[in-house]
Amino acid sequence: MRAALLCFLLAAPVLLVAGSPVYKSDNGTVPLVIWHGMGDSCCNPLSMGAMKKMIEEEISGIYVLSLMIGKNVVQDTENGFFLNVNEQVSMACSQLAQDPQLKGGYNAMGFSQGAQFLRAVAQRCPSPPMKNLISVGGQHQGVYGLPRCPGESSHICDMIRKALNSGAYSDLVQKHLVQKHSLFLADINQERAVNETYKKNLQLLEKFVMVKFLQDTVVDPVDTEWFGFLKTGQAKETETLQESLLYKEDRLGLAAMDKAGKLDFLATEGDHLQFSREWFTANLVPYLQ
């Protein structure tokens, strides 16, 4: 898989948006858990904070938990770059298990890398139960391409570039730089061995929704947002999920989910994480109600 990195999450475009029994509050809503992408934080008023507020406006009375990985916003942002992904997933599972609002179940929505992290939660931590998983620009078979690094994020990007160039395939880099997380992806994608528990837990989802951005200049190949990737042995032609061995051998249960109508593939015009509030309300809010 290609080495990758996202130096700057496009927070401003986000402003354009401005099986098991599931817990419902008195007004009939299902709790929602959201996980941000790299370079962002749980509570940035220009991105995840605005997203949380918008969802609360669209669905009156809904409980929305925006995951913070760390003790504060600074740690949350840094951990998105540097903390071992498995540790992040473990911390998220602990938060979910301890939140009484989620004890009967919840929906989940991940943005960019937060999408595959939440898929790991679904596969590893079935309690409390996840109902619908919505992946917004997630990279389920590959990671990021190197984008531009404007503004204050440039020094972070330069540092990570040097680490990637000097030791891109070392265990140290893979374990401590999130964007070089092939060890993590190999595990949750069943590349080494089939973990039947992962397969069973993922199939507990009622819906697994994947959103692809048709003009995405950050994710390469963009097909990974629909669980596709490059064909083996070359770096130009891609294959769909349905053409992959992962699907044909049904190592993760995705073929069974597809046949059961549990996989939904959505597409929208625009670059990475760029969509309108109108599109979000029409296409994603129905999965949250």
216 is a catalytic site residue: yes
112 included as an active-site residue: yes
Q: Name the 3-class secondary structure at 110.
A: strand
Q: Is the peptide bond before 150 cis (omega within 30 degrees of 0)?
A: no
Amino acid at 167: G
272 catalytic, yes or no? Answer: yes
Q: Which of 216, 220, 223, 244 is catalytic?
A: 216
Residues 6 or more apart from 171 whose CB is under 8 A from it?
183
Residue type, 263: L
- To 5 degrees, how large is the angle CA 96–CA 23–CA 136? 60
DSSP-H helix ranges across 136-276: 154-167, 171-176, 182-188, 196-202, 245-248, 254-259
Residue in 41, 66, 112, 135 annotated catalytic: 112
Instruction: Determine the Cα–Cα distance for residues 153 and 100; give it in Å rounded to an integer.
Output: 36
Strand order in the sheet with 207-213: 64-66, 32-35, 106-111, 130-136, 207-213, 263-268
Active site residues: 112, 216, 272
